[in-house]
Amino acid sequence: MTEMTTTEPGGAHEGDQQADQHAEPIPPPAARPIPRPTARPIPRPAAKPMPRPAAAKAPVVTVPSSDPHRFGRVDPDGTVWLITAAGERSIGSWQAGDPEAAFAHFGRRFDDLHTEVVLLENRLDSGSGDARKIRSAAKALAESLPDAHVLGDVDALAARLADIVERADHASAQEKARREEQRAAQTARKEALAAEAEELGANSTQWKAAGDRLRAILDEWKTITGLDRKTDDALWKRYSAARDTFNRRRGSHFAELDRERAGAKQAKEALCVRAEELCDSTEWGPTSALFRELLAEWKAAGRAAKDVDDALWQRFKAAQDTFFSARNAASAERDAEFRANAAAKEALLAEAEKIDSSDLDAARAALRTIGDKWDAIGKVPRERAADLERRLRAVEKKIRDAPTGGVDPEAQARADQFRARAEQFERQAAKADAAGRTKDAEEARASAQQWRQWAEAAVEALGKRRN
């Protein structure tokens, strides 16, 4: 039995190339009874069942589909015979001296043919190949079998190739029907597009939308292929005529709009005046919104004559640029202020991180003072805020978790945490009152009161534990 191999269709083994030096194909003898050799039969190993190749959707690793000993013999003089249903025929002369090597050599050649058949079956089953090309390849292989120098079940290969040819014929017929069906579907698509274009060209007054749709129809039209030339030309004439009709109607409509350009000029002049009144405003948020509204009105006002429209736009844009340049400068100043705030908080952190937690009362008092200063500093750049807050929380935790001597550290930490949160909300309430945010101040005070109650309860629990 030959070893399991992986081959390309029609490929040869490296060992076969060397073995071919000892195998000499000879033509089949004239029609006469083939004498059986009288020499001692060559021992043959028992045939082992081999797995059938799976009907995979991709190339598979092929294995011998039959034992070459069942389908051939080697005479003492080296003549190699293939046994088929039609009889025996000579396929070569083996001069290497080892009959088993001959079986292996011609068996591998059969494996190569078997692999090609499997690949054709896979391509046909998966639909990944052209059925007509698969049929042609199968017929060519079938025609080569009578002269193939191989040892194996050639009759089974011939039957499988005949089945491939039959199924490929059926697949080709299905493909032809599919193409006809596709041609009919493509024709129906273009007929529907032509009818839609005719409706738009004759009746639509939505000039922009209809014009966009006609262009979209043309783009889609170009993607539809497979029609016969005569039908395609007739449908194109329908679409082209509909588009021409639409363009004439739209041209007449916009010719009438010329008289409205004076109104557009007047409206845009008024917008320029309003923009120039706003350009020195320092109310950045509301004024930005107003400029957006003015721009929307500008777009809706229509167009004046091109030179007039361009001059008005430059005037409007100059006012707009004046405002936004000032806003950007203010933003830059604010960013500088935020960076300065970050530096100030860095300094407070350096001070907080040096607090000695051995005297807890003094440490907490110092931390509260730092917290008040921290809140008074104000905002920092957004990308710095989280890191600065994290460092301050770490200092708070260090003081909160410091040993208190005779007091449950966890209970003391909870009481300190509740008190700190209450103080934090009280500071927020004060800031909200100063800013006139009454609702925010009330919510902050309510939260502060709740945390204060929890802090008092925690302190009371500490007192009971001491007693």
pLDDT-based confidence at residue 408 (cuts at 50, 70, 90): low
Give the pLDDT score at 462.
62
Domain closes at, from 176, 198, 213: 176
Give the pLDDT score at 410.
64
Q: Which residues have C-beta within 8 Å of that of residue 413, sequence separation ≥ 6?
A: 400, 401
Give the pLDDT score at 17.
43
In a domain, residue 363? The reply is yes
For range 59-71, the mean pLDDT: 61
In a domain, residue 230? The reply is no
In a domain, residue 112? The reply is yes
* pLDDT at 407 > cutoff 70: no
Question: What digits encode the pLDDT tens for the residues 197-223?
Answer: 999 999 999 999 999 999 999 999 999
Which residues share a beta bridge with 72? 82
User: Mean pLDDT score of the chain, rounded to an integer?
Assistant: 79
Higher pLDDT, 90 or 176: 90
CA angle, 284 then 289 then 293, to 5°: 145
In a domain, residue 182? The reply is no
- Cβ atoms within 10 Å of 402's Cβ, excluding its own: 20
Give the pLDDT score at 122.
92
Burial per residue of 123-161, b for 16 or more beta-carbon CB atoms within 10 angstroms, e otherwise: bbeeeebebeebbebbeebbeeeeebbbbbbbeebbebb
Higher pLDDT, 467 or 381: 381
Higher pLDDT, 438 or 4: 438
Radius of gyration in angstroms for the set of CA atoms belonging to the chain, rounded to a whole number: 47
In a domain, residue 239? The reply is no
* pLDDT at 27 > cutoff 60: no
* pLDDT at 37 > cutoff 70: no
For range 382-390, the mean pLDDT: 84
C-alpha torsion 75→77→80→82, nearest 10: -40
192-196, 312-316, 355-359, range with the lowest pLDDT: 355-359
Question: What digits encode the pLDDT tens for the residues 409-438?
Answer: 666 677 778 888 888 888 888 888 888 888
What is the token pair recorded at 67? 């034992």
* pLDDT at 30 > cutoff 80: no
Most confident of 25-34, 47-56, 197-206, 330-339: 197-206
Give the pLDDT score at 163.
93
320 within 8 A of 291, measured Cβ to Cβ: yes
In a domain, residue 433? The reply is yes
In a domain, residue 217? The reply is no
CA distance 231 to 240: 14
Higher pLDDT, 233 or 260: 233
Most confident of 196-200, 225-229, 389-393: 196-200
Amino acid type, 399:
I
For 403, phi then psi, to 5°, come to: -60, 140
Domain closes at, from 158, 176, 194: 176
CA distance 421 to 429: 12
pLDDT-based confidence at residue 465 (cuts at 50, 70, 90): low
Domain closes at, from 127, 156, 176: 176
CA distance 125 to 164: 10
Higher pLDDT, 82 or 51: 82
What percentage of the chain carries pLDDT values higher than 70? Answer: 82
CA distance 67 to 80: 15
C-alpha torsion 172→178→181→185, nearest 10: -140
Give the pLDDT score at 195.
95
Give the pLDDT score at 232.
93
Give the pLDDT score at 206.
92
Measuring CA to CA, how many Å separate 433 from each of 169, 340, 369, 446, 447? 89, 25, 21, 14, 15
Give the pLDDT score at 249.
92
Q: What's the pTM value of the predicted model, to 2 decimals?
A: 0.34
* pLDDT at 265 > cutoff 80: yes
Q: How many domains does the chain have?
A: 2
Higher pLDDT, 16 or 9: 16
* pLDDT at 447 > cutoff 50: yes
Most confident of 269-273, 390-394, 396-400: 269-273
- Residue 375 belongs to what domain range? 334-466
Give the pLDDT score at 272.
92
User: What strand order describes the sheet that includes 87-94?
Assistant: 23-24, 87-94, 79-84, 72-74
Ramachandran region, residue 349 (left: φ > 0; alpha: ψ -120 to 50; beta: rest): alpha
C-alpha torsion 310→311→312→318, nearest 10: 100
Give the pLDDT score at 279.
86
Give the pLDDT score at 183.
87
What is the token pair recorded at 445? 């005070």
pLDDT-based confidence at residue 55 (cuts at 50, 70, 90): very low
* pLDDT at 452 > cutoff 90: no
In a domain, residue 449? The reply is yes
* pLDDT at 13 > cutoff 50: no
